[in-house]
Structure 1
């Protein structure tokens, strides 16, 4: 699952982990991303110390056996973690899905945890590039818009399971509140809301106010979002 930050990707991870047949991995390229870019993210030093900073070793693990030899393996990835020097040859061997969200919603949520933000921090440009690369390779990935998904989570999950050729599980719709051992070490900085959740919550209207700099990021990302939004999975 290739997402950007603040995009229900952790709640989606909860849904898959709650299946009895599924292992999950939480942003396995994050430590390499921080070590290589030098960016100052919340808990940066902890993330680097706890994770694997050699992207080749990460890829070797991601393309090997699933943890515990689980039949299903949900890998939660951020597309902005795919730095330009990382080879993409391994990605085509996975079943890939893109998870998108309106950049206005993403930026409004992101700046609550990290004030500094640039367009590439939310991964939409990289999602478009990955979509086009995978489509050219023969299998265009399904695109799920989080706004649509939250209005009909079961229908979207059933459609995704059908595409993957696996059975849907009702356990994907509800999960126990609290942290998971599988959560990244950065969870205290980013996962407060999802740790209190027990399922997907339908979106409601809310007022969003952004600084001029934050709005500039939204404006830069909007064309990429529009491109993917037009390709999104539509369910009955």
Structure 2
């Protein structure tokens, strides 16, 4: 089974990748379309040159690999996708070969975390609009809402939330998903040194978060503009 997990940045997405990798029966791929996104948009992201040098910028080749079985032979293939990377010019046919899941997080938390790593984000940077569009696209050909899981629910009860997700996917749950070794991983994208500091220090999911963060006015407006997209998907959360 190929599992495509769709989220925006700063959304527990790397920890979820580590959880699936820790199973021992699952290959993982970190943001397959990141280089293609940078090449097509020309956007300036941290470590842009290194990303383009180390990762395939051809979306057709990446799409074919996303639809295929992993070369290493595992029965499960988890793909950590950023919704903003899925540009309209990229053929999305590969998604029909995957079980598509949407990982969400409250936009106030996303904005607060993102702004610590890259200043001045705008709505297109944090992926909520693109996530809702992809959700609708998958729902249209499935004839029902695809799976949604909220990072807050995972942090509140990792075993319970991952158990529900695995049951919905038809994948056996294992407690191995709750723990991973600290430090960098061989399957991390080359951008990991900039973005993954906290998760590299972790050995499992962190405790539940407290109250929503206080945001500067510009960032509060950004979070407010993303909130309707989050709330619409939240209504379908496991």
Range into which the TM-score falls when normalised by the shorter chain: over 0.9
The equivalent of 2:51 in structure 1 is 47
Q: Does 1:105 align with 2:109?
A: yes
Q: Does 1:21 align with 2:25?
A: yes
Aligned length: 233
Aligned mates of 2:152, 2:184 — CA distance in 1: 24
Superposed counterparts of 1:1-236, under 5 Å: 1-138=5-142, 139-205=144-210, 208-233=213-238
Greater shift in the superposed pair: 29-38 or 138-147: 138-147
Aligned mates of 1:121, 1:109 — CA distance in 2: 13
Check conservation: 2:112, 2:213, Cα contact below 8 A.
Answer: yes
Structure 1 position 12, deviation (Å): 0.5
1:100-137 Cα offsets, whole Å, 9 max, x none, are: 00000000000101002110111111111111111111
RMSD of Structure 2 on Structure 1 (CA): 1.2
1:179-198 Cα offsets, whole Å, 9 max, x none, are: 10100000000000000001
1:22-58 Cα offsets, whole Å, 9 max, x none, are: 1100001000111111111111110111111110010
Q: What is the TM-score normalised by the length of structure 2?
A: 0.94
Greater shift in the superposed pair: 201-210 or 107-116: 201-210
Structure 1 position 5, deviation (Å): 0.3
Structure 1 position 212, deviation (Å): 2.6
Q: Gapped runs of 5+ residues in structure 2?
A: none
Q: Which consecutive segments of 4 or more residues in structure 1 shift more than 4 A?
A: none
Secondary structure of the 1:112 match is helix
Check conservation: 2:145, 2:236, Cα contact below 8 A.
Answer: no
Aligned mates of 2:214, 2:99 — CA distance in 1: 37
Structure 1 position 211, deviation (Å): 2.7
1:167-220 Cα offsets, whole Å, 9 max, x none, are: 111110111111101000000000000000011112232572323322221111
